[in-house]
Amino acid sequence: MPTINELADEFSRAFVLLHRQDGSPYFVLRDGSPEWMRDAAMKAHGDFMPDDTRYEFILDALHIIANGANLDEAEDSLEADIYNANLLRCVSSNLVRMGYVDEAMEEIGGEFDSLASALQLGQLAERREVLYAIWKELERSLQEQKITMSPKRAAELTQTMYELQYTLPDSSETKRIPLQMDDEQAMLYAAIRR
């Protein structure tokens, strides 16, 4: 059975970086990504409509989890932006984000040494919310998969699983094609891709 960290890694690799006509970058899930990934991304959005900043926070959370962190370590690894321009861009991208700042101010008692500190605490609160939502969705996905093989056997199988990775000349998207697998490998791959 894959670990939550391996599942987070698989999820993070399903994101692609695209650019709008004005050149601004944004992340989206790759076409053909498993439905559970799309559902998890939407749940991590909470009350937000699809939002570039939330997608960035989702991807940041996935990278932290994929690097082997448990939930407490992942929470301790979260960092807010340090540049004022980024903090202001973030909070102004959706006025709901001011609610995170207000809540952080109430928790601390309303005393901050700077506006940037208040914005950072608000951003950390939102990042924590996203991290927790993603963690819970990864756990749910693992429970639904109900794979009966041992983690040791899964690790053994992955040693002989290969994929072809390529990028077409006129595309910025990298594509992956799994190579021939036996039945046990195919079951493990399908479970991870759900």
| Number of structural domains found in the chain | 2
89 and 65 in a single domain? The answer is yes
37 and 50 in a single domain? The answer is yes
Domain ranges, residue 134: 4-146
20 and 70 in a single domain? The answer is yes
The reported pLDDT for the residue numbered 58 is: 94
Q: pLDDT-derived band of residue 193, with 50, 70 and 90 as boundaries?
A: low
86 and 167 in a single domain? The answer is no
Instruction: Examine the pLDDT at 126 and tell me if it is beyond 80.
Output: yes
66 and 101 in a single domain? The answer is yes
Residues 6+ away with beta carbon under 8 Å from 63: 8, 12
The reported pLDDT for the residue numbered 81 is: 93
111 and 140 in a single domain? The answer is yes
What does the pLDDT average to over 81-104? 92
The reported pLDDT for the residue numbered 160 is: 81
Selected residue with higher pLDDT from 131 and 155:
131
Selected residue with higher pLDDT from 90 and 141:
90
Distance from C-alpha of 52 to C-alpha of 49, rounded to nearest angstrom: 10
**CA distances for 74 relative to 22, 96, 150, angstroms:** 34, 24, 25
74 and 137 in a single domain? The answer is yes
Distance from C-alpha of 103 to C-alpha of 99, rounded to nearest angstrom: 6
Residue type, 183: D
Q: pLDDT-derived band of residue 47, with 50, 70 and 90 as boundaries?
A: confident
Which two three-digit tokens encode residue 86?
């980024």
134 and 54 in a single domain? The answer is yes
Which two three-digit tokens encode residue 92?
């102004």
Q: Are 163 and 114 in contact (CB under 8 A)?
A: no
> Residue 113 CB: number of other CB atoms within 10 A?
7
What does the pLDDT average to over 168-180? 82
Q: pLDDT-derived band of residue 148, with 50, 70 and 90 as boundaries?
A: low
